[in-house]
Amino acid sequence: MAGAALLLAGCVTDQGLTDRKGRSLSLDDEGSFEPAESRFNTFKFLDVSKSYSTQAYERDNGQGWAEIVKWDTGKSYVLIQYVNSAWFSRSTEDRALEGADFRKIAAKMGIPEAKHQMIDQVSPRTKGWIGKNGDCVAGFFAKRFKRFTPYDNDRGYSDAIVEFAGCSKFSESPEAIMQGINLITEADEAQLAAAYLNIGPLGNNGSTLTSQNQTWTFEGDWDGVSSEIEGEVRKKGAAQFDFSFDITEADASCSGTAITGSGTGNTGTWKLLCDNGLKADGMWTKHEGQPIKGAGADSMKRRISFELKS
């Protein structure tokens, strides 16, 4: 998923990735959640069904929060990343407007460029793209969820990144999703609790990263470090994989771990450490029939992406 690294940027201390104030930037797995327990009103725009899997992650005791809802074996999803007491930079909005991330998502959904729609509106502040082709929809945009704060440096920039794609179970148009998706309200909670009262809890039945007998390789790209990283992957338990690789350009050896989230086997977190002091972490996701894909950033805000291929 294109936006997975946005909550990861900062500097390295003995405690790992931190921001300029020393707060942890690592992602903590908060497990699965039910529709009325979400921090966002995502399920207002989806058909009522128990086939969804959910996963939440937090950073810095909830100051950064991410939620993902998946279905159709991971082919369809809604991902929201939110900063609770701050906002994203103008450059993040500019990136959303540039559209490269959206075009990748739309291409996977079979949405041609003629059906792409740029969104650049003042209220609610929204910057990015949406698209639709038949039953398939996609969107990637930055949006302001919270009201203006009393801080002098609050310029009203976006505090959320929303990404969605799929060809089933979306009950509203991309335009309606773009305009309406936001923090959940008490009325939303009551509505969703009533809607899901008689169908029971969500399935949240994902598979783990892969089966015991599969062999996988690591292929990655680290901005400013190496564009061709290759390594080995080893299974460790039912929901953990260890990987390792050498970086010739930096004369370094690195090792890392990818852990499956507790609520769904289709996503999780990863982290790595190199013997020259480089560190990075982020999120991974798995779509049916595709390699496991991870994205994140190191202490110098350099993006790292990789695939685990069988």
Q: Which CATH class is domain 217-309?
A: mainly beta
Confirm if 66 and 79 have CB atoms less than 8 A apart: yes
Note the pTM of the prediction, 2 decimals. Answer: 0.64
Strand partners, 160: 82, 143
Note down pLDDT in tens along the chain; length 310 residues: 544 444 433 222 233 334 434 444 456 777 889 999 999 999 999 999 999 999 888 876 667 888 999 999 889 999 999 887 777 888 889 999 999 999 999 999 999 999 999 999 988 899 999 999 999 999 999 999 987 666 656 677 888 999 999 999 999 999 999 999 999 999 999 999 999 988 878 876 444 444 444 567 899 999 999 989 999 888 765 567 889 999 988 889 999 988 877 655 678 889 999 999 999 999 888 776 678 888 889 988 888 999 888 7
What's the rounded Cα separation, in Å, for the pair 40 and 68? 10
The whole-angstrom separation of Cα 29 and Cα 42 is 19
**CB-based burial, 99-111: b 16+ in 10 Å, e otherwise:** bebbbebbeebeb
| Virtual torsion, Cα 233, 237, 238, 241, nearest 10 deg | -20
Q: Structural domain boundaries of the chain?
A: 33-195, 217-309
What order do you get walking across the sheet with 28-31 strand by strand?
28-31, 53-59, 64-71, 76-83, 160-166, 136-143, 126-133, 116-121
User: What's 75's DSSP letter?
Assistant: T
Q: 173 and 132 in contact (C-beta within 8 Å)?
A: yes
Dump the DSSP string for 216-258.
-EEEEEETTTEEEEEEEEEE-SSSEEEEEEEETTTTEEEEEEE
